[in-house]
Structures are given as structure tokens and as C-alpha cells.
Amino acid sequence: MNLLIKFINLIYTAFLNFTKDKMITKSNSIAYSIVIAIIPLLTVLIRIANLNQRELIEYITRFFAIYGITGVQPVLDIIQDILSRANTISGIGFLFLIYAILKIFQDLEEIANQVFEVESRGFLIRTSVYTSWMIFLPIIILFMIDFSRKVEDFLKPPDYIEIKKNNKNFFLLREDMLIEIYNSNFEKEALIDFLTKVDFLSLNRKIIINQEPLDFDLTGNAVKTFLKKPKRIEVSKDFIVIVCEPSFIIFSLDSGISWDFRYFVFSNKGKSFELPTIEDIHVVNDNLLVLLSFSNQTYFFILDKEYLDIKNRYVFDSFYNKIYFYENKIFLSGQGSLLYSEISPISWNLINISNLNTTFENFYLLKDFSIFLSATKRILIYENGIIQFPSIKINQLENINNFKIFSNKNGFIYGKKELRYTINGGKEWFVVKTFDLEGREQKINFTIQDLIESNTKDHFILIGKNQSIYGLQLYSISIDPKIDLPIVKLKLTLKQEISKARNLLPSIVTLILNYLYIVIILFFFYMILPNKKIPILAAFTGGVISSLGIVLFIVLFKLILPFFSSSRFVYGIWFTVPIGMMILLTTIQIFLYGLEIVKLVSNPDLIQKNVITNLVSKIKNQ
């Protein structure tokens, strides 16, 4: 109890000093200096990172396409002009960045010296100290971030990405480059580590998308340098094909016994190469269809399924990201448009969808209407030239992951712990409730990544985050008297989940690590900023308390932020500007409050005594 009273006295006295020293006004000045420093910092990062102009323009173009923003060519021209003069900009930006950072450190030191009532350091000493910090602090922060990411990846169970089946088995692709194989009764039969079965030393595995000569081959460790996480799996009889980012295809012709690979490249006149992005793949008869994007163009390849030789190749000057089949026609989805052709012979035709300027994550076509999932995660119906948004009762921006509609026009929308069911091709979506075999309602506790029809009628397999698997059987669609709406009831026939403790462990460890990082950084700042010898205990106490304040603020902020989802939807990217400034300003204020803590711990005689007793007396007197 005595320790708690001392802590309250310390916190209250620090708050009084924080107000008396006008730290709020001073924090505004620091925040302004940091904002000014961000601009040259970005120009320097562009140069240091050696960003490829073509890739950057491609990402920006895709971003505009996703959000349906038109008339962006002037913006792209400005960006290209800036990038073409990156050397000059980064040179000037680097000089201005050094000045801005030195100014921030100087302001912080002056505030610290005012708090401790000491003189400032000499110019040369101050500059040498701050320069050292500018060199080593970014390295330390990057190391900490990378270490936390590796620890979290090591501890967390790998997520399922996609599920497919052939006439015998189910194939579950995991993000750690493994495939789980289940039989028709959904009993686990095998685990395939397909990367270990690929001979990456093999030559002549490249497919050049622009038909330019290129003698260079990616083999061995070079392949593993470029090879990123898996994103798709397709299965057709004994043929298994996996897409790995950005442009690798790893395949097996014998149900996973032996494996080979191909990769797509763009040749820069034979002198160098760049990797495109595989947007989608599809297996049709004896062909593998591959849709790729590079720069402002899209490439569509028809490959022989057995040898992956090129049968046909098509180039489009617009962005397309999805392959779909309907009534023996191939459809490619673009920005507010569909490109389609008969499977044989190929002859492309364009359909423009009026009033739609966004790209689509998924779509489903019927004779009377079509249903689309936009890149902004909104479900919409397009019928007779009119766009409608069906009632779903799911947070459109966050909780929808995808949808799947089956041949009988029944299907699901699925996402973050959410399911909705349709019986009419997506025009209406009904609330779903799941129950165990004893009739008790069960909640879905994971983000659903994919689902598939099982071999039993009205039975479905759901897979998702943290290696979670649910088997659900449809058994009732009835009217709920409380809401006077249909309720779809599903029976839980299969449940595989990692324990809650196992799921929470990575987050808890990462949170502790990040908190320790903040304590360490603030500890050294409190030790070095004032022109005075600071006791280690005082700096450590200030670091612990102010770090705790920053963590609590971030947690509270995350809880409050969802209430502003409507504002985020209206203002889009501009919503991040005031939010970012709020976070920056509050963090600086907490940091300066920590300075007051350090001063009081260094000088215990300055801490007010009997704070609680005095406050109670004041309240009684009022």
C-alpha cells in the first residue's frame, strides 16, 4: 500500500509539472518538426530502396483501379517526373533530412534541459552525439522489428490458404509451403513438403512473357531468394499446381510424388529481367490458364498441362485480375469491364459494366443478373444495368473475405468469424447460426479463408486462420420470430482448432517484446538528452512508465477506431492524416511526460506528499 501511495504521488506531481512546463505546446512544435522531416525522409528512402519505376507505377495504378479512381494519368505523370529526377531530389532531401533530424534532437534536448534546469551542450558535442544516434538508432529499430516478426512467425501456427479436391482427396494449402491431404471422409492421410521435392538446380524453367531473348536462368539459391509465400492451389485428377508469389508455378503430375517448377519473367532486351505477378490460374481440360500482370499490361497464357509449353499467349493493355468460366466461355475481370471468349477458338470481346469503375475480387454470372465482390470488399448485384447492394449485415470494409456460390445457386459469404448464406445466387443473404451435435449454439472463432462442398449433400468444409477446420451440415432454414427473417442453421460435424493458449502465445510474446523495445529506446533517450548525468534507475523508471502509457494509448485507440469506420469509408486515405497526427502528438506528449517522471525520480524531494489526502480534503471543502 505504501508503494502504491508513492506511485500515485509520483504520477500526480509529474502531471502538475507537465502542465506547468507547458509540455503540450512544446509537443506540438516537436510533432510539426517530425512531419516536416517525413517529406525528405520519403525521397531518401525512394533512392536508397532503389525502387523500380515500372513496379511503383504498376502498384499505384492498381491502387487507383481498386478504388475506382479515374483520370489519374496526370498524377502518374507527376510521379514519373519525380522518379526520373530521384538522384537530385534525394541529394537535396538527404541534406534537408539531416537538418530536420538535428533540429528535432535539438528541440528535445532544450526541453529536457529546461525540465532539469541545466545549460545546453556545445554545438560540436551536440552534433556528434546526434549524428551517432541518426546512424545507429534506425539500425537498432529495424533489427528489433525484424526480430519480432521472426519470433511471431516462428510461434504462430501457419494459416490455411485454400482448399481444393479431386475425385479422391481434399488438398489444403498452408502458408508454410506444406500441403495437407485428407481422404473422402476428411481423415488426414499425408503431409507434403513440396519445396523439398523440387530440383531448383534444373535449367530452362523460365517462361518469358514478352518474347525477348534472355540467357539467364534462376536456379538454386537464386530461386529461393525470389520465391515468396504461396497464394493459390489448383487440383485436377493427378495434376497439382501451386502459385507462389510473385510469378512461380510449382506443379506435380502424379498427385504429389514428384515436383517441378516454372517461373515467368519479363526480359529487358536480354540484359536484365523483372518478375511479373501471377493474378490467377485455372485448369481446363488439358490446359493450364495463367493470368499475369506487369506494368500497365496483362498477359494471358494457355499452357499445356503436361509439359507447361506455351500454346497461346495474349497481351492486353488493361489490367485484368480474375479468370472465370460460364457456359463454355472464359471471362477475365478488369476495371468495370469483362473480357470474354469461347474456349475454342479464342476471340476476345469486351463488356463494359456501366457505373462500375472498380476491379473485382470475385464474380458469379447468371443469365438474369451477376454478383460481384469489389476490391473494396463490397458485395453488389448487377441486373438490367442497375447496381444494387444486398442486405448482408456484415461490416463491409473489414469482415468480408470472399464468397462462393455453387451450381444449385446456394452459397456463402465468408470472412472474419462471419458467414451468410444464399439460396438464390446472391440476391439475398441470410443469417447463419451453427450448432454442435447436442444442439448448443457455437461461434466461429477464426477468419475463414476458403470453403468447399464436401462429398455429402449440403455438407461443407471451412478452413481458415491458425489451422482451423470446420465441417458444417445444412439442416434447417426457418423464420426467426424475433427478427422475422430467415435463419440458416448449420450442424457442426467436424471441428479442428489450435488451443486458445497456442493462438495467443505469439501475440503475447510479440507484445512483450515490443514493449521492451520501447522501454529500451526511451531509456537511452532519457539518459542522453539532458546535459546532466541521469541515474539509471530514474531513466529506467521513466522508460517503463511512459512506454506503458504509449502501449495503453495504442490499445485504447484500437478499441475506439472502429467507431469511426463510417468516416474512414467517406474520407478514404485522407482519414489517415488526422489519425496519424493524433497518434504522433499523443506519443510525443507521453514521451515528454516521461521526462518529468525521470526528473522526479532523480530528485525525490520534489515529489508532493500526501496527494490522496490533499485531494480528499479539497473535495470536502468544495
- 46-81 confidence digits (pLDDT tens): 555 555 555 556 566 655 555 444 455 565 566 666
Nearest-10 crossing angle of helices 23-48, 86-116:
150
Mean pLDDT of the chain: 80
Residue 587 confidence (pLDDT): 83
Domains of the chain with CATH codes: 2-26+95-154+503-621 (no CATH), 159-317 (2.40.128.630), 390-497 (no CATH)
Cβ burial, residue 20 (10 Å; 0-12/13-18/19+): exposed
Contacts of 587 (CB under 8 A, 6+ apart): 550, 553
* Beta carbons of 348 and 333 less than 8 angstroms apart: no
What is the β-pairing status of strands 206-208 and 260-268?
A: parallel
The arithmetic mean of pLDDT across residues 599-609, rounded, is: 77
What is the β-pairing status of strands 297-304 and 287-294?
A: antiparallel
d(CA 366, CA 319): 24
* Phi and psi torsions of 399, nearest 5°: -100, -15
The CA-atom distances, in angstroms, between 389 and each of 174, 217, 512 are 33, 49, 43
Residue 301 confidence (pLDDT): 93
d(CA 617, CA 517): 41
* pLDDT, greater one: 384 or 169: 169
Q: Would you place residue 573 in the very low, low, confident or very high pLDDT band (cuts 50, 70, 90)? A: very low
**For 325-369, how does the pLDDT look when each residue is reduced to its tens digit (9 = 90+)?**
888 889 999 888 889 898 888 889 988 887 777 788 888 888 888
The CA-atom distances, in angstroms, between 402 and each of 180, 364, 447, 476, 540 are 22, 12, 11, 23, 48
d(CA 510, CA 588): 23
Q: Is the pLDDT of residue 597 over 50?
A: yes
Highest mean pLDDT, choosing among 229-233, 606-610, 616-620: 229-233
* pLDDT, greater one: 218 or 278: 278
Identity at 447, one-letter amino acid code: T
d(CA 554, CA 510): 15
Q: Is the pLDDT of residue 570 over 50?
A: no
| Rounded CA Rg of the chain | 29
**For 401-450, how does the pLDDT look when each residue is reduced to its tens digit (9 = 90+)?**
889 998 888 999 988 888 899 988 888 888 888 888 888 888 888 889 99
Residue 282 confidence (pLDDT): 92
* Beta carbons of 116 and 530 less than 8 angstroms apart: yes
- Largest CA-CA distance found in the chain, in angstroms, rounded: 92
Residue 65 confidence (pLDDT): 54
Residue 272 confidence (pLDDT): 83
Identity at 443, one-letter amino acid code: K
Q: What number of CA atoms fall less than 13 Å from residue 174's CA on the CB side?
A: 19
- Supply 60's cell numbers: 499505384
- Supply 389's cell numbers: 447492394
Residue 259 confidence (pLDDT): 94
Identity at 122, one-letter amino acid code: G
Nearest-10 crossing angle of helices 500-528, 576-602:
60
* Beta carbons of 279 and 291 less than 8 angstroms apart: yes
What is the residue-wise DSSP string for 599-618? HHHH-GGGSPS-HHHHHHHH
The arithmetic mean of pLDDT across residues 489-509, rounded, is: 82
